Structure 1
Amino acid sequence: MRGMRKWKRWAVFLLLFVVLAVGGSRTAQAEMLDMTKYNNDLITVSKVPHGKAGNKISIKMTVHNIHEKRDQELKEIWLANAEEFDDLMTENFGESDDADESDDSDAIRWYSKSFPFETDSNSFKPKAINVKAGTSKTVSLSYKLRRDLPAGYYQAFFFIGQKGKDKTAVGVNIWVSAYDGSSTEEDDNTKLDYDFSIGDNQQTPYAGYNQVMDFGVNLTNTGLKKVYDVRVDMQLDADITKFPFDINEGNYNRKMGDMESGQMVTVPYSMMVREDVKSGFFPIHYLVTYREEEGGEFSEPVDKVFYVRVKGKDDDELSADAGEQDRTKARIIVDSFETIPAEIYAGQPFELRVRMKNASSDVAASNIMFTFASEEVENTPIFTSESGSTSVVVNNMAPGATADLSMVFKAAPTAEQKSYRMTIQEQYDSPEFKNAKEEVKIALPVKQEPRLNTSTIDVMPDAIEVGSETNVMFGINNTGKVILYNVMARFEADSIQPADAYVGNIKPGETGNVDTMLTAIAPTTDDGKVKIIISYEDENGVVSETEKEMLLNVSEAFSDDGMDGMDGMDNGMDADADAAQAGGAGRIAPMLVIAALVGAGVGVVVWKRKKKKIAGEKALEDELEEELDNELGEPEMTTADVSEDETKDVEKEQNDHLKRKKK
């Protein structure tokens, strides 16, 4: 019974835990509040902005100016700070953020009063929107979410109007998912799914009154996702103080197509600057629209601003005492340059060709003198003119005109391998500016010829047999002024197996050593020269080679194969040779004598066999004796390296033969 009661207690405890867990999970996500009645028809939001705790969130809304009077313009929008946020939440949604039970007893609902953003002083600066009466404009604002926010709906409040004057508060719901630790880079916290930048990597376009300004506006997709059917619409204005161009087209909408994340496109324009325009910088507004999905609905327009600079007639009316900054002068730049040859080597002459251009659109230059001034090292110029003169005169250059300059220089032999400056000093006249002085610079890279030599090449041994190895050693000396990178020595010949030896990098004045083994694979058929190819790289990885030679003779390996023909006689000689070796008598006798005696013995044996076969036939015996004479002849014999018994047998056979011959 006690065990049963104990089990029941545990069951009740577990059931209570599950109920509490389920109830707690239902309070984990705050409810979205109804903000429509609170926004006074000033803003609309097409969809709830989503973001992750710890990351940035983009809040996009359309601002509507419902006023009827033209002078009632909505100029700015800015974020409410934490204190203002608390006041607005209390004013509109009550004091408490505790959980409240709804009519559904199974659900517990609540809303959060937490200020959701990480902010600094810049977070509350107003953003200009300039929405005129009766019009609307889409704006996008980005803020970083607090990392400690639980998942759920939160609220963001803004003021619309003009800071320090009249303002109206509006609010939007935002959805925040909990921080999961997946974002480790700062860039992950700053990039949005859909965003653009304008004017990247370009200078402000410039033109004078009554001139055509041909310019492009660089538009970059800085969002994380691809966008489709991008359109850019330049915003026109009849007010000459706000828009400096003549309006000749019905609209200036440009279709740029699809854009991948990170892609940049240039939006082209050609505009005539108004005649009565005032000099200055003008902000030009562009509305960018796109589709988030192919074939989907267009997004709300994103307003981007790009500046242009124009010159008006007011700049032409200069006073007599106008300063240098108030007077206009030509701007002469280097349009292009080249050298012949293309690579400049220390100690070698080269021709420098420079094309200068008057980059001014409406200011001419005259009486122009160009002077080339070389960079100096220890008070010595790197480039010296072979003619002695370093100046060139050009009579005049109209706006946009070019002039080609040419001069021959020589680079100092001791110059280190690197780029050196050549300054082109300019002195010229313009209509409003006499004796204007400017200078431009170009960089000329100078290279040093790589140089090397080798020490004595040691080959030990210098004559080997096939299958044997020899050791090769020598040093590679860097006698130039540049580092030799990845130095290698390669050995090639028909008589050896190809081999490589890696040396590494060799600094100027230092030596790299080669120590390697070569294996012979075939006898030498030529003069025995082995080719040594030394290769190295420069700082750009370009490979160069130089060749050296060494001598190595390879011969056939020694073999006992030539003695195989003696195998038939080995059996008859083994016993006699052993006996002679045991007696010590034949150690200094030549082997040739033994071979002769053995041949004689073989002849005697043959003769005996023939004699038995022709016994009783005298005529045939004489014939055989004559044949035997031809075989034996009169050999000189010695008993060296022959046993005593064998010698006696041979002598007896010879004596018997001589007796028969006398008979």
Structure 2
Amino acid sequence: MKRWKRAGAMLLCMIFTISMLAPMGARAEEEKTQESKVINQITLSVGDEQKTPVYKAGEKAELKINVLNKGNMDAQNVSIAPVISSTDEWPFDMEKLNYEQSLGTISAGSQTTALWGGGDDKLTVRSDVTGKSYKLTFRLTYDDGEKIYEADRYVFVKTEAKKSTSDSGNSNNTGNGNNSGNGNNTGKDQVNNIGSGDGSGGSSGDGSAVSSGSDFYDGGVYNSEPVSTGGDAASTGDGSVPRVIVTGFDTDPGTVKAGSNFKLVIHLKNTSKKTAVTNMLFDLQAPASGTDEAAEAPAFLPVSGSSSIYLDKIPANGTKDISIDLNSRADLIQKPYSITMTMKYEDGNATQFEGESSLAIPVTQEARFEFSEIQIMPDTVAVYEEANITCNLYNLGRVKMYNVKAKFEGDAIEGEEQFIGNLESGATGTIDGIVTAVAESYDESNCKLVLTYEDDSGKEYSVEQPFTMTITSEMEPADMEMMTDIPEDTGSPVGLIVAVIVGVAAVAAVVTAVLLKRRKKKIQSSEEEELLDEVERFTEDERREP
């Protein structure tokens, strides 16, 4: 009897232990799933919120580069060094063997500054800089405590050439050098880089006109000083240098989309009021940009295959337009891209000159997304009943979608608008809404999903996705009384576990009761047999007595 009691107690202990551990396992799995969604990463950027510095030829200067950790992990053992494959890419004299800077640890969300030329150890700007912009590439090396990473980042700096006298035959710009640009995303930036240019010798202006950093990188024009490359520079008669500048450009269409063809129209002006320029040759080159797999290809390619343009003549103080058909790469991210245009021309005395201008052309990426299959539960409802509608939104494009909102609409349904938020490139958003049927409807595509979102400039877009929802007439009260309540299946594993435990306990109780009953009957039967044996022995003893 005691053995059966011990077995029953052990069985009850096992059932109680299972019931305690099962919910804990479910909660642990849920917490593990939530923790796995957090991705640790380090993202370093350079030059954030810094103005583009301007360096004058021959001066002593310092270079400051801000390094910001935009990730959620600390970057350890950070070092930064300029990548210099040619001295033409570095606007300073090469006075050291190594320009690497050690920045230590940069905490998540923190920023530090790398300084070259601090204190008495100043950098010397090269004396032969021509006034162009330099793209400085820096290599960042860091680790997360386990692995070492490398990343290349770049910034732009501007330079100013030395001012020369009229005896050299290369006078400075004698105007106010006003440089304006609307900097919008239409690509129609106008830059009034035009001086008075009366052709007289001497220098009464402020040097070469340079567009501001914000105008140029939002879409604008930068012009450098022309340089005499052949012929007799003094044979122009009055010692002046005829300057050809870019006053602006237009694109057709006005918005350049990644992966599309467009026409670039460049507006030129001869600022000299006395000297015409002839035999002009222009060549346009775009920098390499795009994804890592195609980083060697230019951002823009000529449709015809040639990037050179010839122009016969621009009269004194005259203007002309040149144009070229270009194709923008499909994998470009949304930002302005520069095009460098070199120009060669001659004056009336066959003196040859060279100049250079830079154009910044904004490129936009269209949002590209898809909807998953729209799920309706239940698929058929009666008037005044509710239904749950769900689907996924996949951002397949290269741009971020801002302030995404969704709403289910139709003549037969009513629902609330759902705010999804910002959706990164490659991310998935979930649309989950409850609608109420208000009218009977059996038509195809009688409902629609209306999606609205904004681009990075705040422009709003709207897209509609039709779907079909069957709505029957309102259910009569008599029919409702005949219906039986169906318990809602929440799909929770805890309910299933509890049901299993209760079932096991019930079976165990029944088995225990049956075994105990059989044991009791067996004991009673044994006692009865012993009693009968005693009676028989007693009867035999009585018979044997005389």
Please give the range of the TM-score, normalised by the shorter of the 2 chains.
0.3 to 0.5
Give the TM-score normalised by the residue count of structure 1: 0.36
Give the TM-score normalised by the residue count of structure 2: 0.43
| Structure having the higher Rg | 1
Specify which structure has the bigger relative contact order, considering alpha-carbon pairs within 8 angstroms and separated by 6 or more residues: 2
